Amino acid sequence: MIFEYPILLFLFLIFIPILILDVIAVKKRQKLINELEKKLRISALLFRLFIIFAIIAMAGPKWGMGYAPSEFRRGLDIVFAIDVSRSMDIRDAKPDVSVSRLEQGLLIAQETINSVTGARYAAATGRGRGYLTVPLTFDTEAALIFLESVDDSSMTGRSTNLESLIEAALSAFQNTSAARRFIILISDGEAHSGILRNALNRSVREGVIVSTIAVGSDEGRPIPAQLNDPNAEMVISRREANIMRAAAERTGGIYIDGSRDDASSALSSFLLSFSQETEVRQTEEQSGTKEPKQRRTLFIILSILFYAASKFITRTRKIASSHISAALVVFSVIFFSSCSEGKLLLLEANFLNSRNRHNEAIELYLKALNYEDASAYAEYGLGLALYSLDDYENSLKRYENSQKILETQLKNEASEESRGRSARQVHRELRFRNHYNSGVVLFEEGDYNLAAAAFKEALRADPNKMEAKQNLELSLLSISLDSNRQQQTEERQEQREILFDYIKQEEEQKWRSREWEPEEHYTGLDY
């Protein structure tokens, strides 16, 4: 074979570096394949561990003995909707006793308040139109005093509008409250205006249970105002038991015959049957019974961690078996040493609290108080949960307790200067949250001076928090506005005292004998 340009055959030498590069590439590809296979094997192992722990968690593992926890009970918000129309002054509430319908209904309400303790009570009254006369309050004495003061003087307007009365009672409830909500309608059931079913439908939508106390007799009696007028047409007012019973059944409430001697006890038993009182549960030792402790939470956390690890391991660039072993050892030591039972309880309680299951969360926070490393955070969690239940007073106490525990721990850890700084750095967020949330509660209660002081303390804990700066400015502005408003009110009061005294002296007799102006244009029956 003869070539015209044999020198060009030396170009075949270019294959030498190409072959060298191919050998290197094959070794790299083989190394990557080995690394990927190793990651896949580890990922499969971690996924199998996830399945194992998930199955164990679903089986509900228990070991060790502990006191059986007693139930934490939600609060009750109860509004008494009282019909004060003229027919309620008829004295046929009891067969053998001269008691008016209104007096009998108020007596049942008072006995119920004395029996069902720990609930919040409110009252609404109405005739032609309903009014919220006592807002929801834990002060049962205030509610009882109001019920004692209700008499004929509150009977203004014309006709009877039970729809407006129920609407007024519904306005007492707060959407942020987790308490069970009840309306106790005290009436003879006669309604001449409004559509009661509309108010009941709204009660169903908002989850309010309406129970009814039907007062009066089925035979009925004449309206008292017409007995003294010989020219007036005699009108008999009877108890509409069917209307009252249907109203209770519509919302899942209970119908009670007001003439029964045990009417108040029947109503109290119905309310207490929901097992929802406001006081915090008794301590575990007081329950007196022991049972195996539930350990499901631990396995749920482990299963989540191993599932996440099985997905994450394939995304890492390089992994060595020695690194894997070291990581597993470190993970085991950190998890089982730092995640004590108290911290595990906090994790579960925080999850329940974030899902608005505040009562279950409080149960776990109370357990976590027994662990020193979790007590400060457990007190803070109790403050959050109680705030969600509108228990502002106890919420503030919990924040204070958390701060006291935290300060005690910081003093103990500050034996060395560097350790003290480290501890404060770790707990800085908790210190800030205790003061900040206390300021929020105090601001909502209208105590702007203390709220401003709390926000200042929060900024001392963490000066970079913008929300604390904004709320501090709002508190200081509210203090100024409140001071100006109070001064203006005092000035107006002084200016009006002379005029009011004159009107009272000159018109007192006239207003006593004069019928109140009608609250709406109604020309029908006036009872």
| Residues 323-382 pLDDT 10s | 454 445 444 444 444 456 777 788 888 888 887 788 878 888 888 888 887 888 888 888
Strands 62-67 and 290-294: antiparallel
Does one domain contain both 259 and 331?
A: no
Q: What per-residue string of b and e applies to 427-454 under the rule 16 or more CB within 10 Å gives b?
A: beebbbbbbbbbbbbbbeeeebebbbbb
Number of Cβ within 10 Å of residue 264's Cβ equals 22
What does the alpha-carbon distance between residue 315 and residue 467 come to, in Å, rounded to a whole number?
38
Structural domain contains residue 160: yes
Does one domain contain both 182 and 299?
A: no
Does one domain contain both 52 and 124?
A: no
Does one domain contain both 244 and 160?
A: yes
Handedness of CA 344, 345, 346, 348 (dihedral sign): positive
Please enumerate in sequence order all residues whose Cβ is within 8 A of that of 259, keeping only pairs 6 or more positions apart, or say none.
93, 94, 95, 104, 215, 217
Q: Please, what's the largest Cα pairwise distance for the chain?
A: 148
Structural domain contains residue 488: no
Question: For residue 298, what are the domain limits?
Answer: 29-63+294-339
Inter-residue contact 125 to 154 (CB < 8 Å): yes
Structural domain contains residue 455: no
Structural domain contains residue 287: no
290-315 mean pLDDT: 75
0.85 cut: is pTM over it? no
Q: Look at residues 339, 371, 396 and tell me which one is the last residue of a structural domain.
A: 339
Number of Cβ within 10 Å of residue 126's Cβ equals 30
302-313 mean pLDDT: 81
Please enumerate in sequence order all residues whose Cβ is within 8 A of that of 350, keeping only pairs 6 or more positions apart, or say none.
361, 381
Strand partners, 256: 213
Cα–chain center distance at 514? 47
Structural domain contains residue 361: no
As for how many domains the chain has, the answer is: 2
Inter-residue contact 222 to 235 (CB < 8 Å): yes
| Residues 144-161 pLDDT 10s | 888 888 765 555 556 678
Q: Could you give the 3-state DSSP secondary structure of residue 371?
A: coil
Q: For residue 271, which amino acid is it?
A: L
Q: Which range has the worst mean pLDDT, 192-206, 226-240, 364-378?
A: 226-240
The pLDDT confidence band at residue 170, using thresholds 50, 70 and 90, is very high
Does one domain contain both 95 and 180?
A: yes
Inter-residue contact 93 to 100 (CB < 8 Å): yes
Identify the CA nearest to 403 among candidates 436, 441, 443: 436
Does one domain contain both 188 and 98?
A: yes
